[in-house]
A and B are shown apart, each in its own frame.
Chain A
Amino acid sequence: MNGFLERLKRFLKGLEIGMREVSTSLIEKELEEYENVFALITMGIFSGIPSPPTGIILRLIPHMQREMYVMLKRSANLDDVFAETLSHFDID
């Protein structure tokens, strides 16, 4: 009986985690996109796009680990954005 209750508890806990994830998955994707764009713009100087004055860049670079990380990951997967983006949208 205890074992069953234990498993039920874990199931419900998993359900709750799942629900939390579902309730924010789109916002998380949006956040990643914004972080990616932010990194691209501030690092624009390295990729040939118009960038902010060097002064701003030099000040911000030391704090941009997360944004850089997201940007690098995104860049690596640029040849396969289609499904990744579409899959978040309930189309069926």
Chain B
Amino acid sequence: MQNFFFLGKGGVGKTTLSAAFASGISNEGKRTLVVSLDPAHNLGDAFAEEIPCKIKHLSKTLDAIEVDVDRMILEYLNELSSKLKHTYRYLSVMNIEKYFDVLKNSPGIEEYATLEGIKKFVSEECYDIVIFDTPPTGITVRVLAMPKISLIWTANLVSMRRKILSRRKMIENVRGKFEAEIEGEVLELTSEERNDPIMQELLIYKKETKALNELFSSDKTFVNIVTMAEDLAYFETKRIHESLTEFKIHLRKIYLNKLFRIENPPPEISGKIKEQERVTEMMKDHFKDIEIREVPMLRESPRGIPQLLDLYEKFIQ
């Protein structure tokens, strides 16, 4: 089971390359799933097919799905909302709806939902290869960073929780079972880790997150950057690489996409060509240990599996 992530700015050709890669690799017989996490939802355009938010079979070995992150967020919040309305029904002080407005737009909710989306498919046993077409760089980098950050938070929360539980235990030893009365409801406050829902949630979350963290850094995960031979794209690529290194995630390949391969370039774009050459040099120089694949600007954007396959065979394989 291998996971492929294609990262890159908007417009560099991520989706096209992901789709091409998916087409090619599934053609070689590997059972492939391509997942689009990009809110731009261009995957369908690349395959020239409607791709819904359910798994669609594009061929015998190729499935595709477009994850609607916004919908996922709303679903989570609705589920949470009904849970809370029941649990906190006696905390009349709380106005649940107000809190959800905050949560819906909270920093990190998009990353969270995206990560949940990745979690769902990253270990799908019935596929040999799962390919992720990612959201714009910013979110993706934050998503990849999340497990590490979550682990730090979780560790602290666990230690804090242990302090609370141990003190409850001390009081219990003297005063008996701790019962708190909140507006008529009697809550039993446990002092045992295995009975404490919060501790259990934290431990489960820790386990899941650790697994994800390890997966991202393992040799089963291939993270590729799609970029262009432009200054801005170069700087961005550099930054992504730094972040990935910080999270101990390998960068496998860099795809230099949409390169001008023109025999006699007209003067209007000579500047651009010079930039291209310069940046290509810089890339090769800076990313010495990473394989750089050059993919030229195609006459037409490939649409549909046959054209994607062609792209794959020519430049990606």
Contact = CB atoms under 8 A, between A and B. Distances in A.
Contact of B103 (A28, A41, A45, A66): A45
B53 interface: no
Contact of B157 (A27, A46, A56): A56
Contacts of A62: 80, 83-84, 87, 197
A55 B168 CA distance: 27
Nearest to B102: A46
Contact of B99 (A46, A56, A65): A46
B103 A37 contact: no
B61 to A, nearest CB: 33
Interface size grouping (class) on chain B = 35 or more
A45 B106 contact: yes
Contacts, number: 105
Interface string B169-202: 0110011000010100001010000000110011
Interface size grouping (class) on chain A = 20 to 34
Nearest to B90: A65
Contact of A42 (B83, B107, B157, B189): B157
Given A27-B170, A45-B106, A53 B93 contact: no
B247 interface: no
A88 interface: no
Interface stretch (B10-18, B43-51, B148-156, B264-272): B148-156
Nearest to B80: A58
Contacts of A37: 160
Given A27-B170, A34-B164, A42-B157, A66 B187 contact: yes
Given A63-B198, A65-B182, A55 B164 contact: no
Given A34-B160, A41-B157, A52-B157, A24 B80 contact: no
Contacts of B149: 53
Contacts of A69: 91, 180, 182
Interface in B192-214: 197-198, 201-202, 205
A54 B103 contact: yes
A38 B87 contact: no
B103 A24 contact: no
A70 to B, nearest CB: 9
B238 to A, nearest CB: 26
B150 A45 contact: no
Interface of B: 76, 80, 83-84, 87-88, 91, 93-94, 99, 102-103, 106-109, 111-112, 115-116, 146, 149-150, 153-154, 157, 160-161, 163-164, 167-168, 170-171, 174-175, 180, 182, 187, 189, 197-198, 201-202, 205
5 contacts: A53-B111, A56-B150, A59-B205, A61-B80, A63-B87
